[in-house]
């Protein structure tokens, strides 16, 4: 569909409002899309995901090479451990202010973790078909046993950590130290024990969802471009969690008090940049994903150290071939993780024979483009956890497994959980897996223009709360095996939109709603993928004036 002269004017002088000028389309779009165009910042079923990805969807910079790992003694024939050389090159380039660490074509054996811990450092290979990092040891062998802070004997390497680990060195070091001493850490924005932040200022009064402007008690510590962390508490009646589920009547009868894992995720944390400051009025660089009520104690704070401007490009991360482990017993043959990362990216990266492929752990504005997971089968191909927001996974692929699953193993596909919002999976081909949430009330996320062989299952323990919050959108989805579970969600996700999916049937895992009563969800263009616009993310970006 042509989006002639549609503009989505936000931020700066536009302050708290979204203005849209609608042009003419070549085909009649779904009614939901027309409604969204009229109300893009506060639509009841469709989230605003026009700001997803690196710097709200910008192309990552093409920086020149600063050094070559061969100069540090790395061997491209796999004959010796290259991790020391690669990490030394990263440290030198990072200490000099950033740049590209080039890894020429070849196979590089890595017996340790590759640590990208400096802002503006790019680890760049010659292409995913030419440069391979061959990982010989698991995270359990390198670091040690890792367990969930919620108890039990399951391996926490089943959902965290990577053999290429993009995380600020001052955040990653205490994480590793805590694991080694079995003080199982918090993984997110506020540090291992949840105290590595300080309040900059509090927000005064109520603010509607979709607003760009907040009033603060003291704007003295704020300036345009500063990165801050919005923290929002809940009230004793769980009003914030109910709001994240669309404030539908069924949230009143839902039992929240025994959802101990979900309740431990609070406060809600959303990193955001400051666009402008005028007196006590502060303009944010993007619209609020939730409303702010006075009883929720909203404030702007610092965060634990976050890495920015880092990238991984043009390489394959291949693991030594092992037997696929039983569910939740992963040893940590994990590919690439972005943790406490903001405005970072990966491009043309493949992960082969892993336990877990790509992990976003408390990540904000990360773009994964042209990524692929393949090989013997994984636990999570892509996972987005621990209040990760506004990330973009585009042109992605999950290959058909090369080996049959081992008894007791499980595969989820593309997962989002843990109060994460604003995330997008776009233009993907999945030959295995499903559209997973692991409960934990993710809300406001989109999967669009994806072809899927739907054979995975959703995860999550019962104490993690609802499978879906409000404003989940599945838009233009082709299900090649016609399995409905986790894809057709109009009957399970509150205030959601299922638009343009092929005909599906219920078999295998059958979804059940968490909430009683009307869910206020929408189903349009069912049974066809000839829907316009074909890609919800791209269409929303066009409304902002970006191609």
User: Has residue 311 been placed in a domain?
Assistant: yes
* Within-domain flag for 21: no
Domain with 133, as residue range(s), is 58-191+305-421
CA distance 418 to 453: 25
**Cβ(311)–Cβ(203) under 8 Å?**
no
Helices then strands, each counted (H, E), the chain = 8, 31
Residue 63 falls within a domain, yes or no? yes
| Model pLDDT for residues 174-221, shown as the tens digit of each residue | 999 999 999 999 999 999 999 899 999 999 999 999 999 999 999 999
Q: How is residue 216 written in tokens?
A: 């603060």
Provide the pLDDT confidence category of residue 27 given band limits of 50, 70 and 90.
low
pLDDT given at position 21: 32
State whether 286 and 354 are in the same domain. Answer: no
> Residue 155 falls within a domain, yes or no?
yes
Average pLDDT over residues 99-122: 98
The CATH number covering residue 319 comes to 2.160.20
* Domain end position, chosen among 281, 302, 323: 302
pLDDT digits (tens, 9 = 90+) for 266-282: 899 999 999 999 999 99
Examine the domain organization and report whether 311 and 409 are in the same domain.
Answer: yes
The structure tokens listed for 76 are 């491209």
> Which residue, of 265, 281, 302, is where some domain finishes?
302
- The CB density around residue 221, as the number of other CB atoms within 10 Å, is 15
Q: Mark whether 228 and 319 lie in a shared domain.
A: no
Contact 43/355 with Cβ under 8 angstroms? Answer: no
- Predicted confidence at residue 4, as pLDDT, reads 30
Do 431 and 337 share a domain, yes or no?
no
Task: Kindly give the interhelix angle for 31-38 and 536-543, rounded to the nearest 10 degrees.
Answer: 30
Residue 315: band (very low, low, confident or very high) from pLDDT cuts 50, 70, 90: very high
Helix, strand, coil percent values for the chain (each to nearest 5) = 15, 35, 55
Residues 102 and 219 grouped into a single domain: no
Q: What percentage of the chain exceeds 70 in pLDDT?
A: 95
The pairing of beta strand 77-81 with beta strand 19-21: unpaired
Residues 311 and 184 grouped into a single domain? yes
- Say if CB 489 and CB 496 are below 8 A apart: yes
The answer as to whether 18 is a domain residue is no
- pLDDT tens by residue, 383-431: 999 999 999 999 999 999 999 999 999 999 999 999 999 999 999 999 9
Same domain, 416 and 432: no
For residue 8, tell me if it sits in a domain.
Answer: no
Residue 22 lies in a domain: no
Asked if 64 and 108 sit in the same domain, the reply is: yes
Does the structure show a pLDDT above 50 at 23?
A: no
Last residue of a domain, one of 256, 276, 302: 302
For all residues of the chain together, what is the average pLDDT?
A: 94
pLDDT of residue 63: 87
Please list, residue by residue across 290-323, b when 16 or more beta carbons sit within 10 angstroms of its beta carbon and e when fewer do. bbbbeebebbbbbbbbbbebbbbbbbbbbbeeee
- What letter would DSSP give residue 521? -
SS3 of 427, please? strand
Q: 161 and 268 share a domain?
A: no
- CA dist 378 and 537 (Å) reads 27
Give the global pTM: 0.95
Summarised one tens digit per residue, pLDDT across range 323-354 is: 999 999 999 999 999 999 999 999 999 999 99
Q: How many domains does the chain have?
A: 3
> Does one domain contain both 343 and 373?
yes
Average pLDDT over residues 26-31: 71
Q: pLDDT tens, 495-535? A: 999 999 999 999 998 899 999 999 999 999 999 999 999 99
Same domain for 108 and 218, yes or no, is: no
Cβ(333)–Cβ(353) below 8 Å: yes
Q: Find residue 134's DSSP bridge partners.
A: 109, 318
Is pLDDT above 60 for 25?
no
Residue 218 falls within a domain, yes or no?
A: yes
Radius of gyration of the chain (CA): 22
pLDDT in tens, 527-536: 999 999 999 9
Residues 219 and 288 in one domain: yes
Q: Confidence band (pLDDT; 50, 70, 90) for 29?
A: confident
**What's the pLDDT at 313?**
98
pLDDT digits (tens, 9 = 90+) for 241-264: 999 999 999 999 999 999 999 999
- How high is the pLDDT of residue 30? 85
Rounded Cα distance between 154 and 96, Å, is: 41
């Amino acid at each position: 569909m042509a989006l002639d002269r549609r503009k989505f004017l936000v931020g700066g002088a536009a302050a708290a409002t979204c203005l849209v000028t609608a042009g003419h389309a070549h085909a009649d779009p779904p009614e939901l899309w027309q409604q969204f165009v009229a109300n893009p910042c506060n639509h009841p079923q469709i989230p605003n995901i026009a700001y997803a990805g690196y710097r709200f969807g910008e192309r990552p910079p093409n920086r020149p090479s600063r050094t070559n790992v061969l100069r540090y003694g790395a061997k491209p024939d796999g004959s010796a451990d290259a991790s020391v050389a690669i990490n030394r090159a990263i440290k030198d380039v990072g200490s000099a202010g950033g740049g590209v660490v080039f890894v020429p074509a070849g196979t590089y054996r890595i017996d340790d973790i590759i640590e990208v811990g400096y802002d503006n450092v790019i680890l760049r290979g010659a292409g995913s078909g030419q440069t391979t990092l061959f990982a010989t040891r698991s995270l359990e062998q390198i670091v040690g046993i890792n367990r969930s802070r919620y108890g039990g004997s399951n391996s926490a390497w089943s959902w965290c950590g990577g053999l290429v680990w993009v995380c600020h060195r001052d955040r990653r070091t205490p994480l590793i130290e805590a694991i080694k001493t079995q003080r199982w850490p918090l993984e997110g924005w506020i540090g291992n024990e949840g105290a590595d932040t300080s309040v900059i200022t509090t927000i005064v009064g109520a603010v509607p969802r979709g607003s760009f402007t907040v009033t603060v008690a003291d704007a003295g510590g704020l300036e345009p471009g500063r990165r801050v962390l919005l923290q929002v508490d809940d009230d004793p009646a769980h009003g914030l969690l109910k709001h994240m589920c669309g404030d539908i009547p069924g949230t009143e009868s839902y039992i929240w008090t025994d959802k101990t894992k979900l309740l431990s995720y609070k406060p809600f944390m959303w990193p955001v940049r400051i666009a402008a400051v005028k007196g006590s009025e502060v303009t944010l660089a993007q619209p609020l994903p939730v409303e702010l009520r006075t009883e929720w104690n909203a404030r702007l704070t610092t965060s634990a150290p976050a890495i920015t401007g880092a990238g991984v490009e043009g390489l394959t991360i291949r693991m030594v071939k092992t037997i696929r482990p039983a569910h939740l017993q992963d040893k940590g043959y994990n590919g690439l993780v972005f943790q406490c990362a903001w405005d970072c990216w990966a491009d043309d990266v493949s992960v082969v024979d892993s336990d877990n492929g790509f992990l976003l752990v408390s990540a904000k504005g990360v773009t994964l483009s042209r990524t692929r997971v393949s090989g013997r089968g994984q636990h999570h191909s892509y996972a987005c956890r621990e209040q990760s927001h506004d990330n973009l996974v585009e042109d992605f692929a999950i290959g058909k497994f090369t080996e049959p699953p081992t008894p007791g193993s499980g595969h989820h596909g593309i997962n989002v959980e843990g109060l994460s919002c604003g995330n997008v999976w776009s233009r993907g081909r999945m030959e295995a897996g499903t559209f997973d949430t692991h409960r934990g009330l993710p809300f406001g996320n989109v999967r669009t223009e994806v072809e899927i062989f739907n054979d995975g299952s959703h995860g999550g323990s019962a104490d993690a709360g609802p499978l879906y919050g409000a404003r989940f959108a599945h838009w233009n989805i082709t299900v090649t095996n016609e399995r409905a579970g986790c894809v057709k969600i109009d009957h399970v996700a509150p205030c959601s939109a299922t638009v343009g999916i092929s005909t599906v049937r219920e078999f295998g895992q059958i979804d059940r709603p968490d909430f009683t009563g009307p869910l206020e969800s929408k189903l349009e263009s069912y049974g066809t993928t000839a829907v316009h616009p074909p890609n919800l993310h791209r269409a929303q970006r066009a409304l902002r004036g970006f191609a």
